[in-house]
Amino acid sequence: MTPDELIRRRDDVAAEHGPWVGHNIHLGHGVYTIAERVVGAENTAKHLLDLIGAIARKPVDRLRILDLGCSEGLYAIEFGLHGAEVVGVEGRSAPLARARFAAEALGLERVRFEQGDAREATEARYGRFDVILNCGLLYHLDAPDIFRVFENMAGMCDDLAIVETHYAQAIAERYEYKGEEYFGVSRREHEDAADATVRAAREWASLDNAYSFWMAKPSLVNALVRSGFAAVTECLYPAILSYGDRETFIARKGEARPLKAVPLPGIFTDRFLPPVETRRPLSDWVGQDHVDNPATTPRYFDTTTRDLDVMRRRLDTMDGRFDAVDQRLDGLEGEVGAIEARVTAIGQRLDEAVPQIGRLAGETERLAAYTESLQGSMNDWLKGLWTALNTATAELGRTREEIERVRIAQRRPWFMRRRS
């Protein structure tokens, strides 16, 4: 498509399905879905590309990738541009239409987008994949959907799954799934009264569940391993510009192997993490010689002290905020006192003005009565004056007639004048 065609088609899609909200994709000829600038999701796309390119068992152009909750399709399209076969699954129709347009504009025949619930993505529906992306999705899911999604991912994954997500740093709730404990905190996604239309329009929230369940990091790792992944690691590099409570976890398929160098029966039968963040003191570790030689022993710290320090700093910050509020309240009290003094002064002035207002009211009534009497006298005087003027006017008219008669008589010859 020409630049003008790209712009027209892009604007038509935006008019029908809404503008792009987070995935800024270059469609060619200098035309972008949002603008020629960095929006934010590009950082994650670069992070995922470098990470998977470095650790996947196949070259990128030979990978089959599933992008769960793909939204507007940036990650799927990025891997498609590198030659991978990609399936993007998105529950909302609006971002899905925008993703399909971008793939069509770029001519990506090996990238397809399917509308579907990521919670229902299974091997029977979409097949098997070398890589599964669960990026920006997990923290919008509630329990027990999280565990079912992990199980489905493990069931159709041949190599690795990438989970880029927030996790709980404060523990408030416990959830049990298949006899195992998981800890975390619930977050509100939608109001209970929000209907399906309202929930579908919120592209940065869950598809329909009112709450999401953020697991603590150990619980999240345990859930992945119990779902069928052999190893889970955190990605420190390639780095990603993200939040303090958001990381990338790499879950890998594989098989557990027996320990041959120390073939003790029952060794490491349960190797899951404690479901919440805990650290064992050094005295609990086997091998007292290592405990006595800290230089050769990893240092395992109890997080209680660190957590208390964090809480202490937070309390100090809150104390500072309360002090500021107290100062502000003191200032407001002074302002309220000044306002009360002014109100009191105004009340006193009003009390002093009431008698004066009463006297003014009496004077006004008397002035009104006098004005009414004066107006009556003026009316009578004007009426008499008008009558006199009318009488004088009539008399003047008769006088003028008499004068005119005399003048006419004087103008006659002497012999025609009537002798009186």
Residues written for the chain? 420
> What class does CATH assign to 3-252?
alpha beta
Question: Quick one: pLDDT at residue 16?
Answer: 97
Question: Quick one: pLDDT at residue 215?
Answer: 96
What are 227's two structure tokens?
Answer: 């779902």
Q: Break the chain into its structural domains and give their ranges.
A: 3-252
Q: Are 132 and 70 in contact (CB under 8 A)?
A: no
Question: Quick one: pLDDT at residue 269?
Answer: 65
Question: Quick one: pLDDT at residue 202?
Answer: 93
Question: Quick one: pLDDT at residue 256?
Answer: 80
pTM, whole model, 2 decimals? 0.67
Q: Which residue's entry shows tokens 């409570």? A: 245
**What's the average pLDDT block by block, 10 residues per block, for the chain (420 residues)?**
94 96 96 94 95 97 98 98 98 97 97 97 98 97 97 98 94 93 93 92 93 95 96 93 85 87 72 70 43 38 50 80 84 84 86 83 85 85 86 86 81 63
Q: Are 103 and 25 in contact (CB under 8 A)?
A: no
Q: From CA 412, how far away is CA 415, in angstroms rounded?
A: 8
Listing DSSP states for 275-318 in one string gives SS-----GGGSS-HHHHH-GGGS-----HHHHHHHHHHHHHHHH
Question: Quick one: pLDDT at residue 418?
Answer: 60
Q: Which residue's entry shows tokens 């510009």? A: 241
Question: Quick one: pLDDT at residue 293?
Answer: 39
Per-residue pLDDT tens over the stretch 38-84: 998 999 999 999 999 999 999 999 999 999 999 999 999 999 999 99
Q: From CA 184, how far away is CA 176, in angstroms rounded?
A: 11
| Backbone phi and psi for residue 44, each to the nearest 5 degrees, phi listed first | -65, -40
| Backbone phi and psi for residue 359, each to the nearest 5 degrees, phi listed first | -60, -45
| Exposure of 326 in the CB half-sphere (CA atoms within 13 A) | 6
Instruction: Provide the sign of the torsion angle of the four alpha carbons 290, 296, 299, 300, taken in this order.
Output: negative
Q: Identify the CA nearest to 117 among candidates 215, 227, 207.
A: 207
C-alpha distances in Å from residue 223, one per residue of 106, 120, 165, 185, 273: 38, 18, 14, 15, 10
C-alpha distances in Å from residue 186, one per residue of 117, 142, 174, 205: 21, 8, 10, 14
Per-residue pLDDT tens over the stretch 283-324: 444 444 433 434 333 333 333 445 566 677 778 888 888 888
Q: From CA 143, how far away is CA 211, in angstroms rounded?
A: 9
Helix (H) or strand (E) holding 94: helix 93-105
Q: Are 207 and 117 in contact (CB under 8 A)?
A: yes
Other residues' Cβ atoms within 10 Å of the Cβ of residue 191: 10
Question: Quick one: pLDDT at residue 307?
Answer: 54
